[in-house]
Amino acid sequence: METLVPALVQVILYVILLAGITRYLGMYMAQVFAGQRTILSPVLAPVERGTYRLLRIHPAREQTWLAYTAAMLGFSVMGLLVTYLIERTQQWLPLNPQGFGPLSPDLAFNTATSFTTNTNWQSYVPETTVSYLTNMVGLAVHNFTSAAVGICLAIALIRGFARRETRALGNFWVDLVRCTLYILLPLSLVVALVYVSQGAIQNFNPYQAVHTLQGNTQIVVGGPFASQEAIKQLGTNGGGTLNANSAHPFENPTPLTNFVQMLTIFSIGGALTYTFGHVVGDRRQGWALWIAMTIVFLAGFGLLAWAEQAGNPLLTQHAVLNQAASALQAGGNMEGKEVRFGIYDSALYATITTDASNGAVTGMHDSFTPLGGLVPLTNIALGEIIFGGVGSGLYGVLIWAVVTVFIAGLMVGRTPEYLGKKIQAYDMKMVTLEILILPLSILGFTALAMIWPGALDARTNSGPHGLSEILYAYTSATGNNGSAFAGLSANVPFYNLTLGLAMLVGRFGFIVPMMALAGSLAAKKRALVTAGTFPTHGPLFVGLLIGVILIVGALEYFPVYALGPIVEHLQMLAGKLN
């Protein structure tokens, strides 16, 4: 059994460092999006101005919520089409030393949609499917742009709360340039150098055949891993250049890189809460959201670590009949986990990547115990608002904050307010749309897969675990996460197309009403704070926010969870395999 003390020390250190990053990176981002001078301005300001002149962007010309959203949608659609074209023609393009052919139309659609929506779901084996150029120009570029889009949208919503009696929410093109130039590129460069210093691979070499001590031949892959790994985690993308993802030593070679990866996944999402508090003029508001996120994050990690440490009694009780399986359960469930990291690190990594909109893995979620697998599944289904994806985590949790103050207002018979903005009928209609769009997509597509001819054949397992594999796929796609219960063979036309559609719904179906809400809030007057105003920065609000998130989430998904991981857990305790 692994020792608990080192794991607790690591978690405490993680939270402390994350709080420090939140404070300083959050302040820096507030300065960047306000157009203020920063430490990087002497170097990057001329590049920024040159970009505006080249693209004919007018920095002082702001946009309404509709124009901002239209610009974002147009940019995203164009990126999707360009990526699709690269994937379909990579056999004719340079930097393809392995001579890989084109992706099939349905797989190319799924992959282009996946990286455009910051999902990074991969229905293919990366090292045997896509060229270096496709990885860098088609996919890694999206790691920057899709992350930047999410951050820009969060900033637009923050402005909606902070501004009054205006229709302007900023300029999408200006925000996009500033985010990429001042935030994502410098951070990625620093993190990539850390990875290279620890042994992560960064080259363009052809794959090499080497001979093992046993006399076998093994193919050793190459590629620009360190640079893509940096933005993969910072941008909460998660799609790796290797099928083993961050369990592979070429992507994640040491305990230090593993810790840095976990820290970078939450860094921008956490920092945006401070940016929010600073821009609205009350930093306590941002810290309240940060604390609520941290509490739910730690609770999820605790449950997942306990479930995996407990292991599967079916295997631990039958050592004589199944010695190999019993060895995997000695001291906990090590099936599907990288020995270098063990149970606690694997549980922490899985919790972080599914709290954020990040599909990176160091252990296979399909091999978790039923309750262990339920934790990442629930993290994603809640909208990945526990720090969440870059940008999407903040605007997701702000939607729940609006719901919370609305419920609090109903309790005391007052018009609900949040940060001085009255929450009225139109606002709640937009919020309701956002809350419903995720379960409609997740449950609707799951139900379709259960009845579609041949769709069930893609499962490795039957029974409740087979349901969980399908449910996790559509939860991951709609939640723009990208991780999987890998027992589902999803590289078939039905899943490639429906998962791609789920990604689009989860990303843009949520964004449009959110931006409409931002426009409505920006146009409102700010109400005066009185003795009857519900405070939204203290322990009462934090507790109520957590309760609303968990209760509503349980009501939405509990029935299908009861048919999947919960009944599977009960079967396991009863000594049944299916």
Would you say residue 318 has pLDDT above 70? Answer: no
Spatial distance between the Cα atoms of 308 and 207, rounded to a whole number of angstroms: 36
Contact 552, 412 (CB under 8 A): no
Q: What is the pLDDT of residue 471?
A: 96
* pLDDT at residue 324, as a whole number: 52
One-letter amino acid of 177: V
Cα–Cα separations (whole angstroms), residue 550 to 97, 381, 553, 555? 49, 11, 5, 9
Q: How far apart are the first and last CA of the chain?
A: 27
pLDDT by residue (tens digit) across 398-422?
A: 999 999 999 988 887 777 899 999 9
**Average predicted confidence (pLDDT) for the chain:** 91
- The sign of the CA dihedral 21, 24, 28, 29 is positive
Average pLDDT, integer, range 184-191: 96
Q: What pLDDT is recorded for position 512?
A: 95
> In angstroms, what is the C-alpha Rg of the chain?
23
Q: Which residues of 542-569 are buried (b: 16+ CB within 10 A; e: fewer)?
A: bebbbebbeebbeebbeebbeebbbbbb
d(CA 308, CA 288): 31
Question: How many whole angstroms separate alpha carbon 344 and alpha carbon 301?
Answer: 9
**Would you place residue 330 in the very low, low, confident or very high pLDDT band (cuts 50, 70, 90)?**
low
Mean pLDDT in residue range 328-341: 80
Q: Is the pLDDT of residue 154 over 80?
A: yes
Task: Classify strands 417-418 and 421-422 as parallel, antiparallel or unpaired.
Answer: antiparallel
pLDDT band of residue 320 (cuts 50, 70, 90) is very low
Is the pLDDT at 111 greater than 50? The verdict is: yes
Residue for token pair 């939204």: 536
pLDDT, tens only, 243-273: 888 999 999 999 999 999 999 999 999 999 9
Residue pointed to by tokens 């290797």:
242
- Sign of the CA dihedral running 357, 359, 363, 368: positive
Q: From the CB of residue 2, how many other CB atoms can be counted at a distance below 10 Å?
A: 16
As given in the structure block, the two tokens for residue 453 are: 């001819």
pLDDT, position 206: 85
Distances (CA, A) of 408 to 7, 385, 394, 545: 38, 20, 21, 10
Q: Which of 93-97, 213-217, 250-254 has the lowest mean pLDDT?
A: 213-217
Compute the average pLDDT of residues 294-308: 95
| Amino acid letter for position 46 | P
Across 104-108, 310-314, 358-362, 378-382, least confident range: 310-314
Confidence of residue 486 (pLDDT cuts 50, 70, 90): confident
User: Minimum mean pLDDT among 282-296, 443-457, 468-482, 517-531: which range?
Assistant: 517-531
Separation CA 256–CA 250 (nearest Å): 14
Boundaries of every domain in the chain? 34-210+217-281
Question: What is the percent of the chain with per-residue pLDDT over 70, rounded to a whole number?
Answer: 96
Mean pLDDT, to the nearest integer, of 13-32?
Answer: 97
- Per-residue confidence (pLDDT) for residue 444, from 0 to 100: 96
User: In this predicted model, which residue has the larger pLDDT, 183 or 314?
Assistant: 183
The tens digit of pLDDT for each residue in 34-56 reads 999 999 999 999 999 999 999 99
3-state secondary structure of 224: strand
